[in-house]
Every structure is written in C-alpha cells, then in structure tokens.
Amino acid sequence: MIFSDNSGLVVRTQSGFYWVKTSLDTVMCQVAGRLKDTDELTSDLVALGDHVVIERHEEDDRGTIVEVLERQNILSRVDPSSAVGTSMEKEQIIIANCDQTIFVMAAAQPQPQPRMLDRLLVAAEKGHIPSIVICVNKIDLIEAPIYQSVFQIYASIGYPVVYVSAKQHLGIEALHDLLKDKVSVFTGPSGVGKSSLLNAIQPGLKLETSHISQSSQKGRHTTRFSQLIPLEIGGYVADTPGIRALAPWDIEPHELDSYFREIRPFVEKCRFADCTHHHEPGCAVREAVEKGSITPERYDSYLRLREDLEEQYVY
C-alpha cells in the first residue's frame, strides 16, 4: 500500500489516540465523531495496522482519522472488559492487515501453555492470517527433549516452530529472516520474553523488560501500549501487551472444528453433518484420534474450547 501525506498506517494506539505514519511524517490523531455515530459499536473503530485517511489540523500538528480502509485480515479476541457470552460482547482487534503472526511461548519460566496457544491459533485461523509461526523462547533454561515434546505436535500439523533464546542469542538469525519485509505481530502470554526477543533482533530498541514472579510463574506487562516498530531489514513488527486470557471472537461452537488444521479434513467424513465429535457414532474425528492422526492433547483442547463456546454462545 502506497500512502500519501493524508493517508497512512496506524503504528501506535494508546488511550484513544492513534499515531499515523504518512508519506511525510507521523501524526497523532483522534477518530472523527461521525465515525463514532452509531448505536452499537461491537468492534474497534481503529486498530493497530489499519490503513486510514486523515485530515490535518491547521492550528497544530495533529489530525483526525476520517476513514478506515477495508481490512485484509485481523487478529482479534473478545474484549476482556466486555461481558463475555452476552449481547454486550465486544471485539478487541490486536492487529489488522498483518502478513504473519508470531506466537511467542516460553520453554520454561513460565511453563508452556498449550491451551492458550491453541486458542491463539484458532484466532489466527479465524482471522485468515497468511502465515502463522510459533516461537519458543528461553530454550537455555531446560533440556531440548522436554520442550520439544510439547511443541513438536504443532510442527507435525504444519505450523513452523522456531526455537530461540534471547538471552544467549540462539536462533535469533532465523527469526530475523522471518521478519524481513513483512508486517508481523509478536504476541503471547506475559513473561515469555517478547520484548527481549525484539531487543535481540534489533539492538538499540531498548524495550522495557522484566522478570517473572517466581511464586506465581506469571509475567507482568512491560508493553503498556501497542505499536508497530519499523525494522532496519524492512517491514514492521508489532509489540503488544501480554495476553493473560483469550476468548475467541465470533466463533460459533459448530464451526470450531474448521479452525483446527488436523481436525478439519475429517469433519466431512463424519456420519452426521452436525457432529460435535464428542459422543456421536460414526465420528471420523474420534476415529482419527484413536488411529493417531490427531493427538489426544489437541483433541482434548478442541473439546474444552467447544464446551466454553457452548456455555458462552448467545443464541
């Protein structure tokens, strides 16, 4: 996308303000009142990564966003501040128009969270993100067979998995190459080392980092706002606040199986079109689990997430 002096890319969002990178400069903007003139807002009007049109103020160096161009894709979740499972549910967009997501997990400290990762993968599949990568940081803290036993499952179903250590600078070059000339987003639980990885990829960023709590094994947020960081190798990478919980946005229980890559091919082989893959006879998905084509861990994750969606879904 080629921008002009009155159109650009949203490169930072914070407390109702949006920084828009145009062909000339970066302008701090707010959203035009007429864009907010709706009875029911169910999603963010403007999000990180949006392509927008602005009007510049004559009296100062600020601007107003007057149009948001059509989004090519989005990574989103149910806004934690909204009422999950009710008609008041609202979408929170993590990023729009990205080329790839890089979901960062830790090999240890904090312990890996496969169920959180599964939810993130579902969100990315739902959002039609072109490339979905899993990055496992802190591999210097634990023996390889232990963390590989957790994440090899994902490699086997087609997700690229990159093993790195920001502290010892292991695997950083491979991650560096993945980012070149793309708009990417780094996201995942708090404390996994997203900011440390970005500091290792591009020395000089000096993003704030912190240690996790030894008692709770949870990290604290060091990224307090979302921003797109320009890379010296070309492209941008989004640094976003850590995620403590994620409820997938706008997914009905019956469509969840289409967002699990290894489950999807077996769905049409089930005896019943509305098969939940839980108890029905003639279920091709359960048969695939028994034969080892689908791992028990991922199948269990599917069942748990579907149960959550059935409890939350507003009919």
Asked whether residue 176 falls in the same domain as residue 129, the answer is yes
Asked whether residue 169 falls in the same domain as residue 217, the answer is yes
Is 247 a member of any domain? no
Asked whether residue 41 falls in the same domain as residue 146, the answer is no
End residue of a domain, out of 186, 207, 239 = 239
Amino acid, res. 86: T
For residue 104, is pLDDT > 70? yes
DSSP letter assigned to residue 140: G
Percent above pLDDT 90 for the chain: 70
For residue 220, is pLDDT > 70? no
Q: Look up the domain containing 211 and give its range.
A: 75-239
Rounded to an integer, what is the distance from CA 297 to the centroid of its chain?
21
Q: Domain holding 115: CATH number?
A: 3.40.50.300
Q: Domain holding 37: CATH number?
A: 2.40.50.140
pLDDT score of 219? 43
Asked whether residue 45 falls in the same domain as residue 79, the answer is no
pLDDT score of 107? 97
As a whole number, the mean pLDDT across the chain is 89
Report, as an integer, the average pLDDT of 123-150.
96
How many other β-carbons are positioned within 10 Å of the β-carbon of residue 200?
Answer: 22
The two three-digit tokens of residue 156, written as one number: 């086997």
Asked whether residue 265 falls in the same domain as residue 129, the answer is no
Asked whether residue 299 falls in the same domain as residue 195, the answer is no
For residue 91, is pLDDT > 70? yes
Q: Does the predicted model carry a pTM greater than 0.75?
A: yes
Asked whether residue 112 falls in the same domain as residue 181, the answer is yes
Report the range of poorest mean pLDDT among 13-22, 159-168, 216-225, 299-308: 216-225
Asked whether residue 60 falls in the same domain as residue 89, the answer is no
Tell me how far apart the alpha carbons of residues 171 and 163 are, in angstroms, rounded to a whole number.
Answer: 6
For residue 101, is pLDDT > 60? yes
For residue 242, is pLDDT > 50? yes
Structural domain tally of the chain?
3
pLDDT score of 231? 92
For residue 55, is pLDDT > 70? yes
End residue of a domain, out of 19, 35, 70 = 70
Report, as an integer, the average pLDDT of 89-108.
94
State pLDDT tens for residues 27-48.
999 999 988 876 567 889 999 9
Is 248 a member of any domain? no
For residue 125, is pLDDT > 80? yes
Asked whether residue 170 falls in the same domain as residue 24, the answer is no
Asked whether residue 135 falls in the same domain as residue 266, the answer is no
pLDDT score of 89? 83
Interacting residues of 308 by C-beta distance below 8 A, sequence separation 6+: 247
Is 245 a member of any domain? no
E strand or H helix that includes residue 290: helix 284-291
Asked whether residue 175 falls in the same domain as residue 108, the answer is yes
E strand or H helix that includes residue 298: helix 296-312
Asked whether residue 13 falls in the same domain as residue 115, the answer is no
